[in-house]
């Protein structure tokens, strides 16, 4: 396995700290709003990494945190007149619903910042006792001048991007950041009642769960500075070791070629995208651009990803392969196509090549089925290959009929089934004109009928909403 490390900017062979085991920490969401496409892309990209490690037989410990105390959360609490716990529970539940829809594997641990306050206080006290921190009127600050390796992760200097730094005039250095904010409404500590600064949360959770055994720290490129830089410096100064061996960052999500952000009012929520297309279509779309590259969202490209996934489900339907499990249970990935795709994904998740191999595979097996469609042994081997590919990519788990009926309401389904019943009755009575009229009327609403040995099946032709009444 080779990965491009964010510090060296070079592709490095992955060597775990413990043989056969991989420890990964991914910065998760701040729980004050629904998850947007930036959250989805980070989760989906690194879910692919986790799937590759699992497919290669590694014992994996994956941690994704929740920042459930933060200035933005406190502001939202006031707006909604809710407690910290109520607000966090609501948005954590919402986020996890989105992750399940996108087939993101469940982490081994999902720590919340508020559950690690004692660990943060212990960390800050250690930094203060060893003269890496100082106290001002509004809180405890980290003295970045005490770490000669500060900026080694982001490769910046003190004069760059000051807008991303905290600029209190009393700080010793422009780059110093708050560890503990004094606030009488919150937690007791040796330095005074308050709450943690954002940059101390992750390092406290990582040290508590992994100590010095973290292999990979992942997150969006927007976290590289100052968040990850500030995590790294606290770890060096408090514990005298580097927080991890490999830093991985996914690129920005852009909307119409502009960086997605709350300030530009162009954030696109996952839930909005899932109203337009099946969740697996959004997943394959988010995966289709290499994780380190910036990603530009467009409905046209999303539609192209649907066409690619349609071909996968057409093949599943052709060999009568139904719903598959999204679970790794000591699988051995033995099919030729799985081994080929895993080989290219081991090269820093070369998704472009992997999806190209998938497209080629689907074309070739369809040609073989055209020539030898009754070959049961081949169909069994093909079923196994497709199940393995589902686990590697994280899509293709649905029953084909469920996939192709996306976007049809219960009321519309009832109408379609009634029309199919009336059509069947017309055919029994040899009223083929009426039967053809019913088929044509449904087709106007993008509903396609297919007469099979198992009865009449139907599917929706595209993702557009149509009123069937």
* Phi and psi, residue 453, nearest 5°: -65, -25
The region that residue 276 occupies, defined by phi over 0 for left and psi between -120 and 50 for alpha, beta otherwise, is alpha
For residue 135, the model assigns a pLDDT of 96
Which stretches of 272-378 are assigned E, i.e. beta strand?
A: 295-297
pLDDT, tens digit, 9 for 90 and up, residues 336-387 = 999 999 999 999 999 999 999 999 999 999 999 999 988 999 999 999 999 9
Q: Which of 300, 290, 346 is nearest to 54 (CA)?
A: 346
Q: Which of 247, 207, 205 is nearest to 228 (CA)?
A: 247
Q: Which of 161, 160, 134 is nearest to 145 (CA)?
A: 134
pLDDT, tens digit, 9 for 90 and up, residues 13-36 = 999 999 999 999 999 999 999 999
Q: How buried is residue 250: exposed, middle or buried, by Cβ count under 10 Å (0-12/13-18/19+)? A: buried
Q: Which helix (H) or strand (E) holds 162?
A: none
pLDDT, tens digit, 9 for 90 and up, residues 161-200 = 444 445 555 899 999 999 999 999 999 999 999 999 999 9
Sign of the Cα torsion 250, 254, 259, 261 reads negative
**For a pLDDT cut of 90, what percent of the chain falls above it?**
82
pLDDT, tens digit, 9 for 90 and up, residues 77-87 = 999 999 999 99
pLDDT, tens digit, 9 for 90 and up, residues 284-330 = 999 999 999 999 998 889 999 999 999 999 999 999 999 999 999 87
Q: Is the pTM of this model over 0.85?
A: yes
- The mean pLDDT value for 422-444 works out to 93
* Residue 410, pLDDT above cutoff 90: no
Looking only at the bridges linking them, the beta strands covering 455-460 and 216-220 are unpaired
* Distance linking the first and last C-alpha atoms of the chain: 54
Q: Using a CB cutoff of 8 Å and minimum separation of 24, what contacts does 316-320 make?
A: 316/386, 316/396, 316/400, 317/400, 317/401, 317/404, 318/366, 318/369, 319/369, 319/379, 319/382, 319/383, 319/386
Q: Crossing angle for the helix pair 376-393 and 299-318, nearest 10 degrees?
A: 150
Q: What is the 3-state secondary structure (H, E, C) of 208-260?
A: HHHCCCCCEEEEEHHHHHHHHHHHHHHHHHHHCCCCCCEEEEECCEEECCEEC
CB 7 within 8 A of CB 152: yes
What mean pLDDT is reported for the chain?
91
3-state secondary structure of 289: coil
3-state secondary structure of 293: coil
Looking only at the bridges linking them, the beta strands covering 139-142 and 133-136 are antiparallel
For residue 463, the model assigns a pLDDT of 44
């Amino acid at each position: 396995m080779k990965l491009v490390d964010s510090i060296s900017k070079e592709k490095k062979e992955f060597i775990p700290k413990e043989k056969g085991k991989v420890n990964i920490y991914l910065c998760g969401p701040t729980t004050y709003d629904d998850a947007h496409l930036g959250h989805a892309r980070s989760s989906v990209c690194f879910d692919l990494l986790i799937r590759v490690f699992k497919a290669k037989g590694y014992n994996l410990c994956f941690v994704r945190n929740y920042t459930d105390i933060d200035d933005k959360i406190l502001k939202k609490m006031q707006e909604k007149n809710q407690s910290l716990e109520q607000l966090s529970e609501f948005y954590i539940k919402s986020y996890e619903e989105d992750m399940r829809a996108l087939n993101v594997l469940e982490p081994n641990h999902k720590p919340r910042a508020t559950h690690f306050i004692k660990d943060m206080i212990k960390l800050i006290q250690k930094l203060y006792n060893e003269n890496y921190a100082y106290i001002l009127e509004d809180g405890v600050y980290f003295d970045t001048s005490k770490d000669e390796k500060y900026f080694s992760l982001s490769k910046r200097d003190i004069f760059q991007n000051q807008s991303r730094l905290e600029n209190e005039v009393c700080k010793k250095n422009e780059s110093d950041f708050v560890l503990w904010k004094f606030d009488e409404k919150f937690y007791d500590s040796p330095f005074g009642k308050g709450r943690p600064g954002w940059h101390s949360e992750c390092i406290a959770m990582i040290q508590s769960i992994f100590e010095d055994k973290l292999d990979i720290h992942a997150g969006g490129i927007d976290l590289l500075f100052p968040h990850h830089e500030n995590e790294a410096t606290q770890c060096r100064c408090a514990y005298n070791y580097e927080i991890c061996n490999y830093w991985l960052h996914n690129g920005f999500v852009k909307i119409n070629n502009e960086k997605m952000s709350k300030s530009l009012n162009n954030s696109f929520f996952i839930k909005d995208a899932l109203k337009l297309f099946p969740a697996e279509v959004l997943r394959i779309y988010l995966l289709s651009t290499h994780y380190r590259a910036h990603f530009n969202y467009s409905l046209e490209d999303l539609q192209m990803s649907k066409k690619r996934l349609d071909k996968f489900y057409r093949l599943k339907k052709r060999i009568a392969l139904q719903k598959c499990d999204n679970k790794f249970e000591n699988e051995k990935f033995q099919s030729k196509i799985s081994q080929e795709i895993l080989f290219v994904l081991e090269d820093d998740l070369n998704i472009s090549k992997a999806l190209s191999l998938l497209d080629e595979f689907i074309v070739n097996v369809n040609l073989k089925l055209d020539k030898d469609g009754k070959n049961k042994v081949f169909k069994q081997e093909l079923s196994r290959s497709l199940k393995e590919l589902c686990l590697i990519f994280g899509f293709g788990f649905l029953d084909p009929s469920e996939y192709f009926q996306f976007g049809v309401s219960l009321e519309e389904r009832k109408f379609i089934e009634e029309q199919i019943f009336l059509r069947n009755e017309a055919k029994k009575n040899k009223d083929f004109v009426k039967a053809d009229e019913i088929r044509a009327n449904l087709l106007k609403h993008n509903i396609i009928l297919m007469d099979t040995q198992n009865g009449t099946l139907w599917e929706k032709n595209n993702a557009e909403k149509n009123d069937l009444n």
